[in-house]
Amino acid sequence: MRVVTLPGLTLNVRSREPEREGLAPALFVHGLGGSSTNWSQLMERLADRVHGEAPDLPGFGYSPPPDDGNYSLAGHARAVVRLIEAGGRGPVHLFGNSLGGAVATKVAATRPDLVRTLALISPALPEIPPQRSAWPTALLGLPGVASLVARASRAWPAERRTEQMLALCYGDPARVPAEVWAEHVKEYGRRVELPYFWDALSRSARGIADAYTLGGQHALWRQAERVLAPTLLVYGGLDKLVSFRTARRASGAFRDSRLLALPDSGHVAMMEHPDEVARAVRELLDSADGPEDADAGRSR
């Protein structure tokens, strides 16, 4: 891990050592309440194809809140853009899950020079009406709700918080290995004690909700139509936060897209079905890279 200090924010960035020099850069953006560790399994499986980095978004993981307190989609997108520009790594293969998928869509639409390909796993694009299982998460964005939840759950052990989180995000929580479960418990226990935990969560949830009201060129679906980068869309049939029915609309919105449908997956397919997602990503990279880069990656 390394710490990157940028104007107005500080980001913790996790990286995966590439298997050889000269690999194309990739950036992985996590979802609401997540962190850079959500990408560990996928980054490991792609270490022979890309030089991957995953930031903790402002206020999440080990990254402190932004100086301006801006947790909107635009604010998170600016953080991603600044990180790419500061490292001189663009254009990157950009990955996003949930909130990170919405952020990545905005970055790809507004800064096409920074994005080589786009891989979106259950991106949080507006759907009307949202499925009922997503309502409690959406309500966190309402003023005062996060404070009520914080007080009501103050005595909950980390194990109970982890159980509820995994039940919401996984299609089948029983698939979570014991060691991964233990890591989630330890990390959740640490983060819930941070003084800004609930504020970052609620304001970021509000940012997703606000995206429903944006019109014109700022509307997320309109921005999806502007994305030029080859795009992989991954949707889970058991996703409780992003309805599988959204996959059809997304496939039509992104002009150069391919779809991976995983009937048994939930909201975090890169964690629940990393092998299937990695195979689909390799096909995306093969289509975007020149033959020399693709052949070199397969030979490893």
Instruction: Please give the C-alpha separations between residue 150 and each of 69, 183, 195, in angstroms, as whole numbers.
Output: 19, 22, 11
Q: What is the pLDDT of residue 138?
A: 67
pLDDT of 204 strictly over 70? yes
The per-residue pLDDT of the chain, averaged, comes to 90
Asked whether the beta carbons of 171 and 238 are under 8 A apart, the reply is yes
Asked whether the beta carbons of 94 and 27 are under 8 A apart, the reply is yes
Q: Which of 81, 87, 54, 206 is nearest to 138 (CA)?
A: 206
Backbone angles phi, psi at 2, to 5 degrees: -140, 160
Q: In angstroms, rounded to a whole number, what is the distance separating the alpha carbons of residues 77 and 71?
A: 10
Q: How many CB atoms lie within 10 A of CB 20?
A: 11
Provide the percentage of residues in the chain whose pLDDT is more than 90. Answer: 67
pLDDT of 293 strictly over 60? no
Q: How many CB atoms lie within 10 A of CB 73?
A: 23
pLDDT band at 70 (very low <50, low <70, confident <90, very high): very high
Q: What is the pLDDT of residue 135?
A: 61
Q: In angstroms, rounded to a whole number, what is the distance separating the alpha carbons of residues 258 and 118?
A: 11
Which amino acid is it at 105? T
Q: What is the pLDDT of residue 298?
A: 44
Q: How many CB atoms lie within 10 A of CB 288?
A: 17
Which tens digit of pLDDT belongs to each residue from 247-272?
999 999 999 999 999 999 999 999 99
The structural domains of the chain, ordered by start, are 2-299 (3.40.50.1820)
pLDDT of 245 strictly over 50? yes
Asked whether the beta carbons of 267 and 169 are under 8 A apart, the reply is yes
Q: How many CB atoms lie within 10 A of CB 74?
A: 17
pLDDT of 157 strictly over 90? no
Q: In angstroms, rounded to a whole number, what is the distance separating the alpha carbons of residues 238 and 266?
A: 5
pLDDT band at 216 (very low <50, low <70, confident <90, very high): low
Annotate 124-186 with DSSP letters as a single string.
Answer: ----SSPPGGGHHHHHTTSTTHHHHHHHHTTT--HHHHHHHHHHHH-S-GGGS-HHHHHHHHH
pLDDT of 292 strictly over 60? no
Asked whether the beta carbons of 122 and 239 are under 8 A apart, the reply is yes
In sequence order, the β-bridge partners of residue 28 are: 95
User: In sequence order, what are the residues at sequence separation of 6 or more whose Cβ sits closer than 8 angstroms to the Cβ of residue 252?
Assistant: none
